[in-house]
């Protein structure tokens, strides 16, 4: 009888341990996300600069998590970062969807935001998201700002182009393919450079 | 001058001999583990003694540690306006560090001392010698089952500690302060990796379990068979196993997470 009771107590103890592991794995860990992976399709997107984006960062459409960044590679020919995105197959996006690298909060982690376009065809497994917008690099932004300030003070007529120059960096959201390869620093440098002489 | 050098030599000799005796004890104990595994009744009784009786102190400590982490984390994070990360802060600090380390320290205090005192008193009461007389190997009958039970029980206790601690942090953060519950859990799910964080935490707790249980058993077995000797051995168990756990923790953390 006594040994039976000990058996029961030890059994409960071990079961409680497994319950704790299960709790940590399912509720707190990413086991559920791992098992979800079977119902996903992967698309790729090329970025000029991924900033601080990491593998397993979330991919969001309209703020809802729709997938994860599976891995990030470097394309040796185009000198661009290639992000492989795993999207849940419950969610569909048009072929001309654009991908942006965004930051949640001021110091939060970076994620990829998807802005759907108007194409009737949907993205399929293995497709490439053509229009992308790189991460905002703070140093480039500051450099741009200082440059436009300098342009402002040197020529009074420079204020309007400078305002334009800062606009494209922020308003690249619905970009055409032609705009894509221009990194955040380039559009600022070229128009301002044209004006200053 | 010569006497001083002799003193250094004697000290070295003593220490090296201690190391050798410890190593030999460890390997003899390991070699008896297969024998002990056959006697599941002994191991079960020891798990009951080490594990179940430690549950209360472990769970209550975990709950209060979770409360404190929730409060302190909230106050620090709210300075940066990122209260939503509270879940991640609580979970990562518990699963990676505090769970295994605090459990090992509490385990050394709760179970380690009782193991040392029990075996020390068995020696003082000449029970060990009596076993040897009856051709019962005390390493296989007394030491190895306790070692196996400790190595099984402590990781379970550490897992329970982490889980209950996260629940404590959740209670304070979400229920009392009012951090968004969805953000609390989703931050944990987004930031906690099953193998890298939880797996490494379990590996840590297994290493600590081996270290603490070995120290407790060794100190008990080597204790001078007097009441004073047992008292000293118990103290040494707590001191050296606490130091060992903290030192090992640094090494393991450097190996597991140091490379980044």
pLDDT tens readout for residues B145-166: 999 999 999 999 999 999 999 9
Does the residue B241 lie in any domain? yes
CB-neighbour burial class of residue A14 (10 A; exposed 0-12, middle 13-18, buried 19+): middle
Per-residue pLDDT band for A29 (boundaries 50, 70, 90) equals low
Q: Which residue has the tokens 């969610």?
A: A91
Q: Computed from CA positions of residues B121, B125, B129, B133, in that sequence, does the dihedral angle turn out positive or negative? A: negative
Indicate whether B219 pLDDT > 90.
Answer: yes
C-alpha distance from A35 to closest chain B C-alpha (Å): 12
- Asked whether the beta carbons of residue A10 and residue B194 sit closer than 8 angstroms, the reply is no
Residue in A10, A19, A32 to test binding to B, most B beta-carbons within 10 Å: A10
Contacts of A124 (CB under 8 A, 6+ apart): A41
Q: Which two tokens stand for residue B84?
A: 């939503």
Q: Which of B132, B154, B155, B152 minimizes the C-alpha distance to B142?
A: B132
CB < 8 Å to B156, chain A: 13-14, 16-17, 20
Asked if B255 and B99 count as a contact pair (C-beta separation under 8 A), the reply is: no
User: A32-46, A179-193, B39-53, B67-81: lowest mean pLDDT where?
Assistant: A179-193
Residue B9 is assigned to a structural domain of this protein: no
pTM (2 d.p.): 0.69
Provide the domain limits for residue B183: 43-257
Residue B242 included in any domain? yes
Residue A17 contacts residue B159 (beta carbons within 8 Å): yes
Which range, A43-52, A67-76, B48-57, B81-90, has the best average confidence (pLDDT)? B48-57
CA distance B145 to A132: 62
Beta-carbon separation of A20 and B162 below 8 A: yes
- Is residue B184 in a domain? yes
Query: B28 lies in a domain?
Result: no
Helix%, strand%, coil% for chain B, nearest 5: 90, 0, 10
Within 8 A by CB and 6+ apart from B191, the residues are B88, B91, B92
Do the domain assignments include residue B167? yes
Asked if ipTM goes beyond 0.90, one says no
Of the candidates A126, A118, A125, A63, the one whose C-alpha atom is nearest the C-alpha of residue A96 is A118
Is residue A151 scored above 90 in pLDDT? no
Q: pLDDT class for B244, splitting at 50, 70, 90?
A: very high
| A6, A17, A106 ranked by CB distance to B156: nearest | A17
- pLDDT, residue B242, reads 95
- Looking at residue B41, its pLDDT comes to 87
Q: How many domains does chain B have?
A: 1
Q: Please indicate, yes or no, if residue B238 is contained in any of the structural domains.
A: yes
- The answer to the question of residue B126 being in a domain is yes
Interface of A with B (CB under 8 A): 3, 6-7, 9-10, 12-14, 16-17, 19-21, 23-25, 27-34, 56, 58, 65, 105-108
A24 with B162: Cβ contact below 8 A: yes
- Closest partner CB to A20 (pick from B44, B159, B193): B159
């Amino acid at each position: 009888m006594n040994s039976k009771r000990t058996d029961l107590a030890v059994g409960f103890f071990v079961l409680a341990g497994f319950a704790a592991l299960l709790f940590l794995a399912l509720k707190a860990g990413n086991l559920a996300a791992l098992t979800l992976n079977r119902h996903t399709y992967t698309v790729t997107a090329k970025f000029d600069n991924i900033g601080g984006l990491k593998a397993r960062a979330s991919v969001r459409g309209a703020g809802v998590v729709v997938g994860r960044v599976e891995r990030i590679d470097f394309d040796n020919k185009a000198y661009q970062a290639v992000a492989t995105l795993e999207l849940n197959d419950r969610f569909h996006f048009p072929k001309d969807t654009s991908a942006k690298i965004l930051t949640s909060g001021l110091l939060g982690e970076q994620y990829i935001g998807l802005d759907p376009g108007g194409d009737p065809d949907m993205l399929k497994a293995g497709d490439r998201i053509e229009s992308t917008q790189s991460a905002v690099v703070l140093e480039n932004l500051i450099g741009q700002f200082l440059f436009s300030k300098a342009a402002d003070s040197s020529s009074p007529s420079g204020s309007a182009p400078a305002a334009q120059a800062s606009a494209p960096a922020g308003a690249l959201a619905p970009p055409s393919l032609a705009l894509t390869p221009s990194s955040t620093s380039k559009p600022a440098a070229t128009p301002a450079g044209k004006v200053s002489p | 001058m010569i006497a001083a050098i002799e003193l250094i030599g004697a000290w070295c000799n003593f220490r090296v001999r201690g190391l050798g005796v410890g190593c030999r004890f460890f390997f003899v104990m390991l070699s008896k583990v297969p024998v002990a595994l056959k006697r599941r009744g002994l191991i079960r009784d020891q798990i009951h003694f080490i594990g179940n009786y430690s549950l209360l102190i472990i769970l209550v400590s975990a709950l209060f540690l979770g409360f404190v982490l929730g409060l302190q984390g909230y106050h620090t994070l709210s300075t940066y306006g990122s209260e939503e990360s509270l879940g991640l802060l609580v979970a990562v600090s518990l699963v990676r560090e505090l769970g295994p380390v605090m459990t090992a320290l509490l385990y050394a205090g709760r179970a380690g001392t009782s193991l040392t005192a029990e075996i020390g008193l068995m020696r003082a009461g000449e029970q060990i010698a009596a076993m040897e007389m009856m051709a019962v190997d005390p390493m296989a009958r007394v030491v190895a089952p306790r070692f196996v039970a400790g190595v099984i029980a402590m990781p379970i206790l550490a897992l329970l500690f982490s889980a209950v601690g996260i629940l404590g942090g959740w209670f304070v953060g979400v229920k009392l302060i009012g951090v968004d519950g969805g953000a609390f859990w989703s931050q944990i799910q987004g930031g906690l990796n099953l193998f890298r964080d939880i797996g490494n935490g379990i590996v840590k707790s297994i290493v600590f379990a081996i270290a603490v249980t070995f120290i407790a058993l060794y100190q008990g077995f080597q204790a001078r068979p007097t009441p004073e000797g047992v008292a000293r051995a118990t103290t040494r168990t707590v001191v050296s196993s606490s130091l060992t756990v903290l030192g090992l923790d640094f090494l393991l953390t450097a190996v597991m997470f140091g490379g980044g």
